[in-house]
Amino acid sequence: MSKQVRKAVFPAGGLGTRFLPATKVIPKEMLALVDKPIIQYGVEEAIASGIEHIIIITGRGKAAMEDHFDHSFELDATLERRGKHELLAVSRGVSALARISYVRQKEPLGLGHAVLCAKDLVGDEPFAVILPDDVIDADPPCLRQMIGVFDEKGGSVLATQTVEGPAISAYGVLAGSQDPHNPRIYNCTGMVEKPKLEDAPSKQAIIGRYVLTPRVFELLEETTPGAGGEIQLTDGIKALLKEERVYGYTFEGKRFDAGDKFGMLQATVEFALKREDLGAKFRAYLKGLPL
Ligand code: G1P
């Protein structure tokens, strides 16, 4: 088994109901954050973290993602003819980003099932999972930080952040304790998907970045539907925990839930303010608003 994390799985088959009506026709992964579809942020993070092969799990109505990462012959030819070289470089850059494979998830049976769809393409090696809704602004990239922890510890690593109050029920939540030597590492002893506040074993919520060992595929094959009647990735990792070590990792950086309207607004403001071409103008605009 290769020990290097070379492949990243992007579950992108979900319906995006939290963002209706925008996602009635457009896949939620294609919603623009400033000027880039949210999935492209995840793909760029994966590449910047050393990933060589991206596996996107798609579903019905998601073809726009494949077109986005492909060559656009007509667009490129038109830009070239018009002498729009900078835009041509942007368009070509997207299609040259990565080696990408697509697998269709034929039925929406849950996140665990979506990840399982990548089993044959991943094979017997550790791999990453990136949930494209979770856009993470971090330097070094969140996944790179996690691969560093995986290389050091040799066990699966889940990104976490502290979530206070009832909002915890929207997440997978870890049980365990903080590592005495490294406060960013959480030694997992259990986990539960979307617990009620009173049942949450801690405030350590799982965020959409994982580095997993391939044993999880076999365990997911045996996982029965859990929270929401779906095959949950959290339940597969909980089974993995009986055989191998699993760590939570409080990443350095800021996470935005761009699959949610409010989260997308927050991300839009913060990413726009950081942009060289837009930041100053946008800041002046915001300052002038009668808030
Ligand atoms: C999924 C996972 C959950 C995790 C969350 C992070 O839930 O099942 O464990 O905490 O992503 O964004 P979803 O948001 O798909 O309901």
For ligand 1, the distance from its centroid to the CA atom of residue 91, given in whole angstroms, is: 31
Residues 228-247: tens digit of each pLDDT: 999 999 999 999 999 999 99
Cα–Cα distances in angstroms (integers) from residue 205 to residues 37, 45, 209, in the given order: 25, 21, 12
Q: Within a 10 A sphere around the Cβ of 102, how many other Cβ atoms?
A: 17
Contacts of residue 244, Cβ cutoff 8 Å, sequence gap at least 6? 155, 156, 213, 215
Give yes or no for a contact between 250 and 184, defined as CB atoms under 8 angstroms apart.
yes
Residue 97 is given by DSSP the state S
pLDDT at 139 over 60: yes
**Most informative mutation of 156, 193, 206 for ligand 1 (most atoms within 8 A of CB):** 206
- Dist. CA 211–CA 146, nearest whole Å: 7
Tell the residue nearest (CA) to atom 9 of ligand 1. Answer: 172
Distance of CA 11 from the midpoint of ligand 1 (Å) = 11
Q: Please give the average per-residue pLDDT across 242-268, as a whole number.
A: 97
**What was the pLDDT predicted at 93?**
81
Average pLDDT in the chain: 95
The ligand 1 atom at the shortest distance from the C-alpha of residue 134 is 12
CATH topology of domain 7-259: Spore Coat Polysaccharide Biosynthesis Protein SpsA; Chain A (3.90.550)
Atom 7 in ligand 1: which residue has the minimum CA distance?
171
What pLDDT digit, counting tens, does each position of 116-132 carry? 999 999 999 999 999 99
pTM for this prediction: 0.95
Choose among 243, 224, 209, 190: nearest CA to 137: 209
Question: How high is the pLDDT of residue 71?
Answer: 85
Q: What is the DSSP letter of 225?
A: P
C-alpha dist (Å) from residue 102 to 86, 97, 160:
29, 15, 27
- Nearest protein CA to atom 11 of ligand 1, as residue: 208
Q: Is the dihedral angle over the CA atoms 233, 234, 236, 241 positive or is it negative?
A: positive
The DSSP code for 19 is: G
How far apart are the CA of 287 and the centre of ligand 1, in A?
A: 35
Confidence of residue 2 (pLDDT cuts 50, 70, 90): low
CB under 6 Å to ligand 1: residues? 111, 131, 134, 171-172, 193, 205-208, 232-234
Q: What is the Å distance from ligand 1's center to 133 Cα? A: 10
Which ligand 1 atom is the nearest neighbour of the CA of 259?
Answer: 14
Cα-to-centroid distance, 192 and ligand 1 (Å): 11
Compute the distance from residue 223 Cα to the ligand 1 centre, in Å: 17
How far is it, in rounded angstroms, from Cα 155 to Cα 187? Answer: 10
Residue to probe by mutation, ligand 1, list 129, 131, 238, most atoms within 8 Å of CB:
131
Cα 278 to ligand 1 centroid, rounded to whole Å: 32
Which atom of ligand 1 sits closest to the CA of residue 233?
Answer: 8
Helix or strand (DSSP H, E) at 188: strand 185-193
